[in-house]
Amino acid sequence: MFETLFPLGAAHYLLGGVLIGLAVSLAYVSTGLVTGMSTLFSSVWSFFSSLDFFQEARIKGSRQWRLVLAAGLILGAALWLMTLGGGKPLTTVVTWWQLLIGGFIAGFGARLSNGCTSGHGICGLASLQVPSLAAVVAFLTTAMVTAHVVAVLGGA
Amino acid sequence: MKPVSLIAILMCGILFGFGLSLATMIKPEVVLSFLRFQDFGLMLVLGGAASVTALTYQIVPRLLKKPLFEPIFGRHSAALNRQTIGGAALFGIGWGISGVCPGPAIAGLGAGNWQLLFAVAGMLAGAYAQGWLASRPPHRPAQPAPSAR
């Protein structure tokens, strides 16, 4: 049963999840900020675009700390690679067009929904928000259906 | 924002990126294997992260009047409407195609997976499209066409 659910083991998943929770907690205790990731992709456009949406205070005003957060993500993953990760850079078998098209749809949808797996999934669920729970159920459902369809069509 | 706050956010990012990597969420294959019911580990990651965060969100505002370095505790606010649910459904479709969501797309670059730049480029373009649509003036009902007489 356990091997069926978690063929690669469970400890690293749980420990990684707890570390992510501690990271979000650290940001909250120190700054009060709610650290979803998808808003970064809107707020960087405030540097380049004069469209009203990107110049709104909640988008433009948060770009500095969101960029710092992104830099931290990259550093943290690099730290993992150099320690527990074995030092060999990762690659993926997922095709470039899956990454590009999937990225576009996911980026558009997350911003329309104002949250992604971190914003709705971690921060939203943790603040016991019903709309976020509904969003999580919606994206898990469509993601599972889509991933199965892509597999049937021969995608990675 | 105060430098000390930005340092705290940087530490948060490092811990977040390390956790995502340890949990192998920066590997699109692992995410896709969850979505295809082959490995349920992602539930442990999400459950672990949300549980720890929930404790913090519930307890900390009762212990502290304000965050250590900034004046107010923020709040994740979401409305139950078509945009939230429809956007999430779309997000899931993109996630199911690529196996990549925003956090891992960025963190994975730090683990040397440059292919994820395709996902980052896609997300930037998608976010631009959403912002462009949101910036258009509100739709007004079409005026009846003047009759050409």
What residues does each domain of chain A span?
A: 92-156
Q: How far apart are CA A40 and CA B9, in angstroms?
A: 14
> Under an 8 A CB cutoff, do B53 and A7 touch?
no
Residue B142 has pLDDT above 70, yes or no: no
Question: Which H helix or E strand runs over A97?
Answer: helix A96-113
Q: For A56-89, give the secondary structure using H, E and C.
A: CHHHHCCHHHHHHHHHHHHHHHHHHHHCCCCCCC
Question: Quick check: B80 contacting A, CB < 8 Å?
Answer: yes
ipTM above 0.85, yes or no: yes
Question: Quick check: A141 contacting B, CB < 8 Å?
Answer: yes
Question: Quick check: B59 contacting A, CB < 8 Å?
Answer: no
Question: Quick check: A22 contacting B, CB < 8 Å?
Answer: yes
pLDDT at residue B38, as a whole number: 96
Q: Measure in Å the smallest separation between the Cα of A125 and chain B Cα atoms.
A: 6
Question: Quick check: B35 contacting A, CB < 8 Å?
Answer: yes
pLDDT at residue B143, as a whole number: 62
Q: How far apart are CA A122 and CA A22, in angstroms?
A: 11
With cut-offs at 50, 70 and 90, classify the pLDDT of residue B148: low
> Under an 8 A CB cutoff, do B95 and A23 touch?
no
Q: How far apart are CA B59 and CA B67, in angstroms?
A: 12
Q: Which two tokens stand for residue B86?
A: 């429809």
> Under an 8 A CB cutoff, do B73 and A32 touch?
yes
Q: How far apart are CA B61 and CA A25, in angstroms?
A: 12
Q: What does each C-alpha distance from B7 to A21, A122, B49, B109, B127 come to in angstroms?
A: 18, 22, 22, 21, 27
> Under an 8 A CB cutoff, do B99 and A94 touch?
yes
Tell me how many degrees the CA angle B102-B85-B83 measures, rounded to the nearest 5. Answer: 90
The model's pLDDT over B33-80, given as tens digits with 9 standing for 90+, comes to: 999 999 999 999 999 999 999 999 999 999 999 999 999 999 888 999
Give Cβ neighbours of residue A38 (< 8 Å, ≥ 6 apart): A107, A110, A111, A114, A115, A116, A118, A119, B102, B123, B127
For chain A (156 residues), the mean pLDDT of every run of 10, in chain order, is: 90 98 98 96 97 95 97 98 96 97 98 95 95 97 98 89
The model's pLDDT over B91-137, given as tens digits with 9 standing for 90+, comes to: 999 999 999 999 999 999 999 999 999 999 999 999 999 999 999 87
Q: Measure in Å the smallest separation between the Cα of B59 and chain A Cα atoms.
A: 10
Stated pTM of the model: 0.94
> Under an 8 A CB cutoff, do A76 and B115 touch?
no
Q: Which residue has better confidence, B1 or A23? A: A23
Question: Quick check: A133 contacting B, CB < 8 Å?
Answer: no
Question: Quick check: B10 contacting A, CB < 8 Å?
Answer: yes
Q: How far apart are CA B34 and CA B40, in angstroms?
A: 5
pLDDT at residue B146, as a whole number: 60
Residue with tokens 């992602």: B42
Q: Measure in Å the smallest separation between the Cα of A96 and chain B Cα atoms.
A: 6
Name chain B contacts of A8, Cβ cutoff 8 Å. 24, 30, 39, 41
Mutate to test the interface with B, among A79, A92, A100, A152 (most CBs of B within 10 A): A92
